[in-house]
Structure 1
């Protein structure tokens, strides 16, 4: 499975799906109908696409959306959520994280406290990470067999963020406003009118 086919599957999963769970079920069923080697390919393509967006540049943007609460796990699954938006959105945000402000899914969250966000609105798609595991188990009957298959190819899947770009103080409100003017216009900046609360790794 090449990258083009990966994107085609991810984007097709949104057709007619009303919830993230419906997309996941569709993807799992489609993958489970393919050879096991293609399921491994899917997992590897997902991992490869994670790399370019595993950056402090994107983490800072995610912090604005999450009102300063964006742990390692939250950012890790924010990456899969972004991949789930499709190829065009992924590449726009990769080039400029402030382009998140153009996504309808992000704009719908603006001006609303996180406690009012519905579960299927959260910019977090953790379960996309498990689609290949479930499909592989269905095909082979092997629990956790996907990891062994990936290792047999000389690879290891990421399990947490490890940004490799230049670190900067993602807690600096002025820097956030400078780097992400459109997002800052949609979401209140930490420290303006209230005490900031941060939940993230420190660069």
Structure 2
């Protein structure tokens, strides 16, 4: 049965089995998820949407900006995908304190801390499950699919945000970035 715990378990086991290599992790995660029912895959997609939406926070965007030497809207979506793909504890800790990301054992895979593929894991697994390449089928189904309010509350209830998580900063003002995420700034900027 897909729920927030199974969501995080699938992510964590895929990440470990892939030896912490993002591309391998996404392939494993898609294959594991495709073994579930269509409804459970859609539920995974909705759970991801909640976690992604809840992490749309200014201080976290500052962390992405520092780690990636700049960060557009799309980059921030991919950064949040990357953060979620690291697992539950890093995700929740980063919402309390984005600077906590510096404490992760982060293998440096390429030039950016992004995971665009995480945004489409449910889509890819769903299409694999039903044997199609037509992305519209998934989007029609996910649009109609809703978690019940208790499930949504259960997910959101365990998320705690740090003080001033929506603090203002300016990517043209290095000092504002240094104040928001001093440890990340020291390591990445």
Asked whether the two chains share a fold, i.e. TM above 0.5, the reply is: yes
Q: Secondary structure at the match of 2:15?
A: coil
1:147 alignment counterpart: 139
1:1-203 alignment to 2 at 5 Å?
1-18=2-19, 19-67=21-69, 69-105=70-106, 118-119=109-110, 122-142=112-132, 143-144=134-135, 145-153=137-145, 165=166, 167-188=168-189
Aligned length: 168
Higher helix share: 2
**Deviation of 1:21 (Å):** 2.2
Looking at structure 1, the residues matched to 49 and 144 of structure 2 have their Cα atoms a distance apart, in angstroms, of 16
Structure 1-normalised TM-score? 0.75
The match for 1:194 is none
Q: CA RMSD in A?
A: 2.1
- The gaps in structure 2 that reach 5 residues or longer are 148-164
State the shift of 1:154 in Å. Answer: 5.5
The answer to whether the Cα contact below 8 Å between 2:66 and 2:185 also exists between their aligned partners in 1 is yes
How high is the TM-score relative to the length of structure 2?
0.80
CA spacing shift, 1:26–1:92, aligned 2, 3 Å: same
Distance 1:65 1:15 in 2: 23
Structure 1, residues 58-106: CA drift from partner, whole Å, max 9, x if none? Answer: 1111111112x2111111100010001111111111101111111221x
Structure whose alpha-carbon radius of gyration is higher: 1
Structure 1 unmatched runs, 5+:
110-117, 156-163, 189-203
